[in-house]
Structure 1
Amino acid sequence: MDFTIRMYTELLQAMQAAGYSFSTLEGFLRNPTPNTLILRHDVDAMPQNSLAFAQIQHSQNIRGVYYFRATSGSWNDRIIRQIADMGHEVGYHYECLTTCKGNKELAILDFKKNLTALRRLAPVSTICMHGSPMSKYDSKDLWKTYSYSDFDIVGEPYLDVDFSKVAYLTDTGRRWDGHKVSVRDKVDAGFNHPFRSTADLIAGLKNKQLSSQVMFTFHPQRWNNNPIYWLQELVFQKTKNVVKQYFYVK
């Protein structure tokens, strides 16, 4: 069964067996070494699932980066501190233009307020846009007017990773070819891949089909051992994919 904690653990094992090292986003931007994976986690909801991912990684001496939204369904002080204490990178999953309805002056104030609050819990050196697929606003457009470097931010993956060199794989849509139904969680990439399921991806790792540098994006709320949550997420994502594909994907 796909998108379970067991399958996620098997995927991590396949990554290690393929000889990759692991890096946080900040670490990679500062030193983009070959044969490196960036494990990015967008904590859109159910932060306890992200804590479980962080604990599994920590038990295997793996570090990742976890991006928290400034919403009650994502932000959890205790979990943010626990994840940071394990050595993982913590970042801000901003969506300010959506929450401020396109008003950039209000959005940058909202960004500063939430970033300051997050930094009270953990060091924050990178940020990452939350796609907000049902919104007409793209929060990355905030940086057409302002500069995140003014806030001591090292980078933003959609703006600072060279995806002509770094392959991008995301579980958006609860599938590994989710870029086909994604509104904003996609990049102009120089790599194509044949993977749909996690089993396909594991086979690809065993067969050396992945490139030297890869960013993986996980949404941990999609990965569940509990059959009720697992089924709810399956139905929700299938419905959401249809809506996005017909009304939002360009």
Structure 2
Amino acid sequence: MFQTFESSLKHINKRAIILRHDVDLLPRNSLRFAQIQANLNIKGSYYFRAVPESWDEQIIKEIANLGHEVGYHYETMDTTNGDIDKAWDQFRTHLDELRKLTDVETICMHGSPRSKYDNKQLWVKYDYKTLGLIGEPYFDIDFSKVGYLTDTGRQWNGNKVSIRDKVNSSFNFNFRSTQDIIRSVNQLPDQIMFTFHPQRWNDNWFLWTKELVLQNVKNQVKRILIR
């Protein structure tokens, strides 16, 4: 039932939960996610940014060795201030560096919520499939058939605070909590992608509260930006 994004592109199960993890910060949290899943024989996809707060080569290799998919969480339109040619060059450089650590077949856009640049705009001119990549969720999943739930904004119903992590979906979910999702599991579509940001998840009370407070502040800023 659980699939990586890569495996779903090659053959999606009739009933499938595609597990995506955006490693924006605190990669050790992602490693803990990956270890728990591996102990349950579950595999997911982990997308690493090419920045110090995400890119930990030892953790990247550990997650790959656990049997999970590793991909590139790109943001080069932002980091090059919208210079599409420089963004393409930087994208290829980072992809090559990640491929020195493990196989990479898929990529995923980082939302860069404080940036005026949409990282997906790189593909207006260039084609990631020329680099041997087989997919990008925002382009290669039919969300009219596949459901989508994300913890963006530290909310399962965070559309009002999501700037770019949005899809054109046929499904209208409004879950307030993870328990709401669990209770409604039989009403979910047969195929669905879940996106997690593991830095938001913690069983340490102090760290959990810190993330809660910081994300609530960020959400207020996002609401202003979206207006």
Q: Secondary structure at the match of 2:17?
A: strand
Q: Secondary structure at the match of 1:61?
A: coil
The CA distance in 1 between the partners of 2:173 and 2:126, in whole Å, is: 35
Q: Secondary structure at the match of 1:40?
A: strand
2:155 is matched with which residue? 175
Aligned residue-pair number:
227
1:43 is matched with which residue? 23
Render the CA deviation track for 1:84-112: whole Å, top value 9, x for unaligned.
00110000000000000000111011001
The CA distance in 1 between the partners of 2:57 and 2:88, in whole Å, is: 23
2:200 is matched with which residue? 222
Query: 5+ unaligned residues in a row in structure 1: which ranges?
Result: 1-20
The answer to whether residue 125 in structure 2 is matched with residue 125 in structure 1 is no
Q: Secondary structure at the match of 1:185?
A: coil
TM-score normalised over the length of structure 2: 0.98
Render the CA deviation track for 1:27-73: whole Å, top value 9, x for unaligned.
10111221100000000000000000000000010000000000000
The CA distance in 2 between the partners of 1:195 and 1:166, in whole Å, is: 17
The structure showing larger relative contact order (alpha-carbon pairs under 8 Å, at least 6 residues apart) is 1
Correspondent of 2:120 among 124, 127, 140: 140
Taking the TM superposition and a 5 Å limit, the aligned residue runs for 1:1-250 are 21-205=1-185, 208-247=186-225, 249=226
The CA distance in 1 between the partners of 2:201 and 2:19, in whole Å, is: 15
Query: 5+ unaligned residues in a row in structure 2: which ranges?
Result: none
Does the 8 A contact of 1:170 with 1:179 survive in 2?
Answer: no
Q: Secondary structure at the match of 1:221?
A: helix
Q: 1:201 offset after TM fit, Å?
A: 1.1
The CA distance in 2 between the partners of 1:177 and 1:194, in whole Å, is: 5
The CA distance in 1 between the partners of 2:184 and 2:174, in whole Å, is: 9
Q: 1:194 offset after TM fit, Å?
A: 2.7
TM-score normalised over the length of structure 1: 0.89
Q: Secondary structure at the match of 1:80?
A: helix
CA RMSD of aligned residues (A): 0.8
The CA distance in 2 between the partners of 1:204 and 1:239, in whole Å, is: 30
The CA distance in 2 between the partners of 1:246 and 1:138, in whole Å, is: 18
Following TM superposition, where does structure 1 have runs of at least 4 consecutive aligned residues deviating by more than 3 angstroms?
A: none
**One-letter amino acid of the structure 2 residue matched with residue 104 of structure 1:** I
The CA distance in 2 between the partners of 1:73 and 1:150, in whole Å, is: 29
Does the 8 A contact of 1:68 with 1:75 survive in 2?
Answer: yes
The CA distance in 1 between the partners of 2:76 and 2:60, in whole Å, is: 20
The CA distance in 1 between the partners of 2:126 and 2:86, in whole Å, is: 12
